Each structure stands twice: as C-alpha cells, then as structure tokens.
Structure 1
Amino acid sequence: MHPTTLRALKRAAELVRQNQFTEAVLVAEPVILAADYAEGAEIRRWLTEHVHDFTSHQEAS
C-alpha cells in the first residue's frame, strides 16, 4: 500500500473517532477510488484488521 494511502486511512480513522464523518469520507474516498485492484485488496485487508481504529473513542488527555 502506498504510504499516502495509509496516512489517509489513519487520518480518516482519527476523524471518525472525533465524529467528523463527512471529513473522514473526504479524506479516505479519493485514495480508495484511485487504488488499483492490488492496492484495493490491501486497503480492504487493512480496514478489516483495523476496524477498532474506526470504532473506538480516544480518551481525553
């Protein structure tokens, strides 16, 4: 997976945890749509392995 794709997915996860769903889609959608078949498979695998990143809330510091 391209480093920029991974950064976008991680940023999208962070935005989801902050309840900024529209922004998360705006960050993730372009890299997902631009992915070729092989990278798309990597993205799906990463999303499956990191679903907790999108569903857990960060603790306030």
Structure 2
Amino acid sequence: MRPTTLRVLNRAAELTRQNRFAEAVLLAEPVILVADPAEGQEIRRWLVDHATDFTHADTSKEIA
C-alpha cells in the first residue's frame, strides 16, 4: 500500500473517532476508488484488521 493511502486511512479513522464521519468518507473515498486491484486488496485487509480504529470496539473480549 502506498504511504499516502495509509496516511489517508489513518486520518479517516481519526476523524471517525471524532464523530466526523462525513469528512472521513470524503477524505478516504477518492483514494479507495483509484486504488488498483492489488492495493484495493491491501486496503480491504487493512480495514478489517483496523476495524477497532474506527469503532473503538474491543473485539478481543468475549461476551459471557
């Protein structure tokens, strides 16, 4: 993944945590749309691996 793409994804996560979802989408969408298939796969993998960056959810805890 290009360093600029990673910076955009990290910034979008930060904006989402600040409840600035519309800004996050406006920032990330153009980068995602121009990604080639290989980078698109990396972006998808990064989003799955970093879902908690966007949601603050702790997926490591099990529900009893």
Whether the TM-score (by the shorter chain) exceeds 0.5 is yes
For 1:19, what is the secondary structure of its paired residue? coil
Matched, 1:26 2:36: no
Q: How large is the Cα RMSD of the aligned pairs?
A: 1.1
| Alignment length (residue pairs) | 57
| Large movers: runs of 4+ above 4 Å | none
Distance 1:7 1:52 in 2: 17
For 2:8, what is the secondary structure of its paired residue? helix
Deviations 1:30-61 (CA, angstroms, capped at 9, x unpaired): 1000100000000000000000000018xxxx
Structure with larger RCO (C-alpha < 8 A, sep 6+):
1
Paired residue for 1:7? Answer: 7
Identity of aligned residues (%): 72
TM-score calculated relative to the size of structure 2: 0.86
